[in-house]
Amino acid sequence: MLQYTPPKLHTGAKWYVDFYAYDPADGSMRRKKYHVDNAGKVKDRRLRAAQLIESLTRLLRSGWSPWVNSDTSRAYILFDEAVKRYLAHVERLPAYHTRKSYESRLHILLEYNASRLLPIRYVYQYDTAFVSDFLDYVYLDRETSARTRNNYRQWCLSLAEFFIEKQYMSANPVTKIKELAESGKKRRPLTAAMLRQLEVNIKSRDPWFYLACMMEYYTFIRPTELSHVKVGDISVKEQSVFISADHSKNKHDGKVGLNTRIIKMMIDLGVFQYPSEFYLFGPRVSHPAEKRSDGEMFRRRWNILVRKGLGWDDCYQFYSLKDSGLRDLANAEGIVIARDQARHSDVATTNKYLQGRDAPVHEETKRFTGGL
């Protein structure tokens, strides 16, 4: 959600700078005005306005809100400071397993926050939207089960209760977030017909997003990892993509194969004409750019172009392309090839992506001669 609009100078009978900023108390954007009439001459007013705009912009970017009064509300405490106090509380818990579990989840929360383009800085920013995005990160990017995701939700709920106890916030933002059904994975792979429909409707309409879809289907690179891929990480000679340990889920360097169709598409789009330090996908899944966007851009684009545009159910997600690619590669070339391309530690992990009738059978079982 947009937290503010850029400050702007208005001239006329009254000179003032105004902007809109999100008020966490009532959950809406509110307008704030600062008058500069008392600055004297026109030249002085413009100078004063420029200084004010620069200062306000810097504050807004850092997470400041004019609607949260640091003198009267503890919600303005730095998030890192609040977390330190929570950690001190956790360290005094009697059960060793509980301490380690909470510390691990807190570490992952802080790791996620640091990866955002605009990390939250104040406790009041620990809101429903932030926690919901974090749980999506746990469930989708980290490829956990619905049960694990629900356990993280419960922990986020308890973290918010700690903040409420310390009077950093007045209401628990996690209660609005529902648990996932644990009977099975909500996300479903795409059928062959759906993959063809995707190509027909998206390829010419948005070639850069179609390239992202191809990357997800053929390389199985997670969305957050994909947002970190740079032009220089791609080798045309080897037909491979390098994944740095700094951004991979398993914290290991990795390399995956690039399908010939993807290489040709990249050449046609002029990918290799961009500097090697540019990120492969710019903001809103556009051409390579110097500035990185977050992994959520793929899901946002998918929701607009595919789920809404094609009328697909919400069980068909951008990450469904990975499920579909794993299924098709395993059936065509074997589960071991699929395992290595997915950078899984063992075949058991790969098998989790192959649902029921999608799972391959071993050719050896067809030729085995038993004793019966």
Q: Is the pLDDT of residue 359 over 70?
A: no
Q: Give the pLDDT confidence score for residue 339 in this predicted structure.
A: 83
344 and 200: one domain? yes
Q: Over the range 249-268, which residues count as b (16 or more CB within 10 Å of their CB) and which as e? A: eeeeebebbbbeebbebbee
Q: Say if residues 154 and 164 touch (Cβ distance below 8 Å).
A: no
Q: Give the pLDDT confidence score for residue 333 in this predicted structure.
A: 82
Q: Is the pLDDT of residue 70 over 60?
A: no
105 and 134: one domain? yes
Tell me how many domains the chain contains. 3
Is there a domain that residue 183 lies in?
no
**In this structure, what CATH number is given to the domain that contains residue 205?**
1.10.443.10
Residue at a domain's end among 176, 209, 228: 176
Q: Give the pLDDT confidence score for residue 365 in this predicted structure.
A: 43
Q: Is the pLDDT of residue 351 over 90?
A: no
CA distance 153 to 133: 11
Q: Provide the domain limits for residue 160.
A: 75-176
pLDDT tens digit string along 205-234?
999 999 999 999 999 898 989 999 999 999
**In this structure, what CATH number is given to the domain that contains residue 144?**
1.10.150.130
55 and 136: one domain? no
Q: Say if residues 182 and 139 touch (Cβ distance below 8 Å).
A: no
Q: Give the pLDDT confidence score for residue 131 in this predicted structure.
A: 95
For the ranges 7-16, 96-105, 200-209, 340-349, which has the lowest average pLDDT? 340-349
278 and 301: one domain? yes
Q: Give the pLDDT confidence score for residue 230 in this predicted structure.
A: 96
Q: What is the pTM for the complete model shown?
A: 0.54
pLDDT tens digit string along 316-343?
999 999 989 988 888 888 788 888 887 7
Confidence of residue 366 (pLDDT cuts 50, 70, 90): very low
Is there a domain that residue 181 lies in?
no
Q: Give the pLDDT confidence score for residue 282 in this predicted structure.
A: 94
Residue at a domain's end among 20, 39, 61: 61
For the chain, the residue count is 372
Is there a domain that residue 282 lies in?
yes
- Mean pLDDT of all residues belonging to the chain: 86
Alpha carbon 238 to chain centroid distance?
29
Which stretches within the chain are classed as H helix? 42-61, 79-90, 96-115, 128-136, 146-165, 192-202, 207-219, 223-228, 260-269, 296-302, 309-310, 320-333, 335-342, 347-351, 364-367
pLDDT tens digit string along 116-157?
888 888 888 899 999 999 999 999 888 888 889 999 999 999
Q: Is the pLDDT of residue 290 over 90?
A: yes
Residue at a domain's end among 176, 204, 219: 176
Q: Is the pLDDT of residue 244 over 80?
A: yes
